[in-house]
Structure 1
Amino acid sequence: MDTDVLVVGGGATGVGVARDLSMRGVDVTLAERGGLSSGTTGRSHGVLHSGARYAESDPDGAAECIRENGILREVATGCVAETGGLFLSLDGDDPAYFDAKRSACRDVGIDAEEIDPAEAREAVPDLAGDLDRTMRVPDGVVFPSRLVAATADDARRHGAEILTDAPLKALHVEDGTLAGATVGGTRVDAEVVVNASGAWAGECAALAGVEVEMRPTRGVMVVVEYPGLGPVLNRSRAPADGDIVVPHRDRAVLGTTSVAVEDPDEYPREEWEVERVIDECSAMVPDLDDAPVEGTYWGVRPLYGPDESKRESRGISRDFFLLDHTRDGVDRFHTIVGGKLTTHRAMAEVTADRVCADLDVDAPCRTADEPLAAAGDPDRLDELVAEFDARSPADADVVGAD
């Protein structure tokens, strides 16, 4: 089969690229080895970041987060929940860190308001007794399965072909140009290939003789029975294990750890990570320590090696990088790595801009202005999740629920 652009990878960024390009009139085929959102996207904690988490360490990234946060609330209504968020400083936490974060939020346009701890307890009565200071921010929750399925559906409505259960078998380089790929048992000839395979980007690129150095890390999410939480809770301290609690219907998702892995498919899942996350999150909400554990799941972050090597310690900034492999001797081949679920649309826009330059397509991005066609219909969203085999643990309690 022939297409203008082949996108490899069916997570949020991949389907975002397919939607953006198809809306610009480009013929797109997307191939995913399993069901959509089966990689990092569907195994995240699902926070719609306000940018507050990154404000003091990465102001540009924080500004991008708050911008994309607002866009997703408008274009993907049934795929997000407007929960709000709180940053909590406990007795013994560095007050200077709290002050720096509050100031940084305001500098980049994030509505960050310090509130009295008593007001925070009205929203979350079970907060720790040693709560010292609290800041309210416009965080929210993303339902990744719905978001990916709705984005893929919208891409398909604009002419894209979405292939699931179509693993990448080979990339075909001819005279220094990537001419296409074999996915599943099908040869797909393409003018441009986009590698949006996340933590697997290095393995994908290697099939074209290109090195993309990935440094993936695993993180555990612990799902506990905890109804009525309300806002997303963040610990106001330097990045550490167990510093976020995410509300879900009758559950809460506690996260997370950060441990380097060699293989994003095969890695150990350690019980100490589960115990640490529960212990640390319980410092914010002591009742979480006794909450029944309903399950655990691990995700793998698609971190770009050269960026990670610059960090002196664990960081939480998640820059994204668009790599043009012409520099590696392979034309018409691009890799998009890094980033955050919240900024997937912006990542897709940058990628689509570059691909359109390759194809001499002069058409603007419209993904920030036009809502996803199915976004306002929860039943239809859940039908699409089933159709694309996109159900994932990050929102299993929401998708298909009454």
Structure 2
Amino acid sequence: MIMYLLMALTAAVVSYTATWGARLIGNRLQLFLPIRSRDMHSTPVSRLGGVAIFLGVLVALIVASQSFFVQDIYRSNFAPWGVLAGAGVIVLVGMVDDLVDLRWWVKLIGQVAAALIVAVWGVRMTIVPFVPEPVYLENETVSIVLTAFLIVTTMNAFNFIDGLDGLAAGVAIIGGSAFFLTAYWVHRTAIILDRSDLATLLTAVLVGSCVGFLPHNWFPSKIFMGDSGAMLIGLVMASAGIVSTGQITSGLYDRANGIPTIIPILLPFAVVFLPLLDFGMAVVRRTARGKSPWSADRGHLHHKLLDIGYSHRMAVILLYLWTAVLSFGGLALAIFPWQIVLPIDILAAGAMAVVTAWPYLRRSNTDTAT
């Protein structure tokens, strides 16, 4: 645990410091995009924060490759460097988009390229978890295509939810922390000689880097992570989930007290549920209107919360709470018997639903009374 936390701290320090530099460069060179109708800010803000988040991840992974215990992850394993290479490509694509606003199809090509780099040289889906037996992906092409699809989907999901100050970074911190604790706990309690784990390391450095960035991005934001940061978070989070999914036949998750066969796929899904939900709704909404799924609008979940009466800060906090309920609810399934956890998770989700809808319900009651 100590080494993972040190790597997270390294990422946080580098990210926090680099964000100052990104703010200075962005403001001095006036690297701003025009304010759009769907934007929630009224003054130009630099979108170079994703570069600082990437530097935190980059430095922490390089330090980890030379550090006690976690360096075992790199032994005869190119996967960490493959993930880092894909991350570098997507940050470059995102940075260009943040500066010149690329066409959606150009950005999609960049996303696919980054995802394919991860799938070919980094991590790859080899198993699809199903109950009672997992499905093995023996065809290499199918494995690569499915991996790339999952990574591109997750990248876009985080990119879509990045619409309020501190939202994407906070969701990544909360969800990533639950993911980190699950991956660490499973390996810590397993009877194995090497307890180091790439998924645990990836989530540790991602959470640390987002922690370093968040103070600069909290409302009112002084810098945005931009597409480079949001897509980076999605790529790293998806890569960590793919690593965990590939471990379901290793016996590690058989030691879980919850629902071991589907925990590796359930928890990553729970962590990114809100971004994926927002992404899915946006695709359906835009396609139904005859528009491109990547065309911008003002119909995201955070916009809806603002429309029913929540303030900027309260909308972000509410989505933080939803992320905590879903992700730590998934964590509890890995540690405690599901017969106990599931009813609690359902009650917590029900309570959150009431809290979320409260401004609307109160306004409806007032309108009825008058």
- State the TM-score bracket (shorter-chain normalisation): under 0.3
Q: TM-score when scaled to structure 1?
A: 0.22
Q: TM-score when scaled to structure 2?
A: 0.23
Question: Is the helix fraction higher in 1 or 2?
Answer: 2
Structure number with greater CO (CA < 8 Å, separation at least 6) is: 1
Question: Is the strand fraction higher in 1 or 2?
Answer: 1
